[in-house]
Amino acid sequence: MISVSGYQIEQILYQNARYAYYQAIRSDTGAKAIIKSIPSTSSVLKDVTRFKHEYDILRNLNIPGVIQMEAKIDHAKGMALVIKEFDADPLAEILKRERLDVSEALRIALSL
């Protein structure tokens, strides 16, 4: 488990070799957030660059259905992106459960 200043980590949501996702609470406001962390043990330059690029792109987008970035934070075990919590299922999960019709797929593609 990681420790990120200003956030209380509640639980791990998902982890693979490159990233970990945590459910967290912002200490000052009590707002929920998702923390995406890249561990320092796997922080090769390519991964760190990709992580920073993801933050730079997403922090400037304001599209319904696309995650919103709150902060990019360095911590003792690596780097973390703080994502405002959202009430939606990831597209990958939706696609595992059902097949989208053409109009819905086009609507999503155009919004991205």
Across-strand partners of 7? Answer: 26
Mean pLDDT of the chain: 84
3-state secondary structure 89-105: CCHHHHHHHCCCCHHHH
The single-letter code of the amino acid at 61 is L
pLDDT classification of 64: cutoffs 50, 70, 90: confident
Q: Where does the pLDDT of residue 11 fall: very low under 50, low under 70, confident under 90, or very high at 90 and above?
A: very high
Confidence (pLDDT) at 41 = 63
Per-residue model confidence (pLDDT) at position 43: 58
Both tokens of 13, joined, read: 């949501």
Q: Is the pLDDT of residue 86 over 90?
A: no
SS3 for 33?
strand
- Pick from 51, 24, 26, 53: nearest CA to 40: 51
Q: For residues 45-70, give the mean pLDDT.
A: 84
65-79 tens-digit pLDDT = 788 899 888 777 778
Whole-number pLDDT of residue 34: 92
Confidence check: pLDDT of 44 > 80: no
Q: Sorting pLDDT into bands at 50, 70 and 90, what band is 22?
A: very high
Query: Among all chains, which residue has been given the structure tokens 């957030």?
Result: 33
Alpha helices per DSSP H over 2-101: 45-58, 91-97
